Amino acid sequence: MIVVTTCRRPTQRIRSFAKDLANSHPSTILLTRGKTGLVELAAAARNLKSNRIATVSRWMGGPGRIEFLNSHTDPPSQLIVYLKDVRLRREHGKCRTGKAEIVTTPETLRSETYKFAGWYSNFFGLELLDIGLSRRSRVSIHISEDSNLIRVALISPPSETEIGPSFTISRIDWGKAETAR
């Protein structure tokens, strides 16, 4: 089980983005944070039998970063991604919904992008496949590159239509994720 939550003072867009993330990834639950501190948040996650937390935080009024914490590894791993160009499911204009079944990538990627794709698929418990091998899946998280930026989008069927949410990563802070692989 993975807990998706927001920062302490989220905007409506941050709440919508966190809800979209929870609704598009398997084995996730949205936890309304409110005034809950980090210690209480960790206790609530343990009560839900969860050892992984994704927190959507604000930057300049909108979703600006996601902090991934995996306490299942020893030592616990943490990864922070800084967001740019966040698009919600409703902004894609598609009526389709669904939860991702796999993570797909194009055949050629930079090493950092491939490393992130592996970490992301491991965090959410999804299989990582090349886009050409993914025809058996209806919905996937597609991770690609766009001029040194990493793009993450929910697509259905693979490589055809973005159904959202989607976001571009401008920077990754690997933190303790380097040693926890």
Mean pLDDT by 10 residues, the chain (181 residues): 91 93 93 83 85 89 89 75 92 78 89 93 90 70 90 80 90 71 44
- Domain boundaries along the sequence of the chain: 2-177
pLDDT (0 to 100) of residue 71: 75
Q: Is the distance from CB of 104 to CB of 143 less than 8 angstroms?
A: yes
What pLDDT, on the 0 to 100 scale, is given for residue 179? 46
Chain CA centroid to CA 47, Å:
22
At residue 171, the pLDDT reads: 92
Domain 2-177 has CATH 2.60.40.10: no
For the full predicted model, state whether its pTM sits above 0.85: yes
Q: Strands 62-70 and 149-156, how do they pair?
A: unpaired
Buried b (16+ CB within 10 A) or exposed e, 89-116: beebeeeeeebbbbbbbeeebeeebebb
